[in-house]
Amino acid sequence: MDTYEADPLHRHFQDGDYKTAEMLYSKAIQQDSQNPKLFTNRAMTRIRLQSWDACIDDCIRSIELDNATNMKGYYYLAQAQLALKHPNEALNSALTAYHECLKTNSSSTRNVSQLVLQAKKEKWEAKERKRIRQRSALLAELEEDLERKKGTELRKVDIMCEGGEGTSDAREEREEVENTWRRKIEELRSVFAIADGGLEQREVPDYMIDNISFCVMHDPVITKNGTSYERSTILEHLRRSPTDPLTREPLTRGELRPNLALKQACAEFLDKNGWAVDY
């Protein structure tokens, strides 16, 4: 790895010459095909090249060679899966990378945590698109049914007119039928609009907001003074200053405890309100 990662490879990648970096990693893999780091490094260049399928292949191979501690393999895999619109798989990969970060107290924890939230958001968006399509199809079906019923009543009016009823009376009858069914269709559309509004809660409860990043939490931990923070942000803070952000008293990583009840509440909220990731 050192031979190929040192000068030329790193320099080409840093200079933005990703095609050359990819080519050199491929040559390195030919000489050392059992080195998982070479595959993750090539996967990183393929992310920059937006070669998503090839990136996934590299990540999977790297994970096969080293599944125990391969945070980068899962991290890059999640990014490629998101790019290919596979949010469920991306969320699983991102969570695996996140748990690996926690095990090693990695400085990448915050970035991986953000990727987890992004996957949650895109998972919600996929469900929301499906819901809107289904809603539109159902609304169209119900409107068509109302239009058919209106047509049936109008035909009855026409038959009555042919039977000798006055033209003026028939015209009034038709107008009444038209107005009645128009109101029904408008009421139907209003019901669907109200239902949509009920599904969209556009405020995040204060207790779900991290007091450091001011973003919605997905893995909250609680300090000894009872304040909850997003795990990745409090860990980043503790790497800079081993003190409680609120009280300034000494605080260590080992003194943090998972807030399981809040974590469940945040998960349920995000599952229904993926927009909150960008709140």
Distances (CA, A) of 84 to 47, 68, 111, 197, 239: 12, 26, 20, 30, 35
- Return the pLDDT at 4: 41
- 100, 125, 189, 191, 193 from 196: Cα distances, Å: 39, 15, 11, 9, 5
Task: Answer yes or no: is pLDDT of 128 > 60.
Answer: yes
Q: Higher confidence at residue 146 or residue 173?
A: 146
Bridge-partner residues for 221, per DSSP? 229, 258
Question: Which pLDDT value is given to residue 165?
Answer: 55
The pLDDT of residue 171 is 72
- Rounded to the nearest integer, the mean pLDDT of the chain is 87
Each residue of 149-177: pLDDT tens digit?
Answer: 988 888 887 777 665 555 567 678 878 88
Q: What is the DSSP letter of 7?
A: I
Share of the chain above pLDDT 90, in %: 53
Instruction: Provide the sign of the torsion angle of the four alpha carbons 68, 271, 203, 139, taken in this order.
Output: positive
| 201: pLDDT strictly greater than 60 | no
Average pLDDT over residues 203-212: 89
Whole-number pLDDT of residue 8: 65
pLDDT band at 199 (very low <50, low <70, confident <90, very high): very low
- Strand pairing partners for 257? 222
Mean pLDDT calculated for residue range 253-272:
94
Structure tokens at 205: 């409860």
Task: Write out pLDDT tens, residues 219-258.
Answer: 999 999 999 999 999 999 999 999 999 888 999 999 999 9
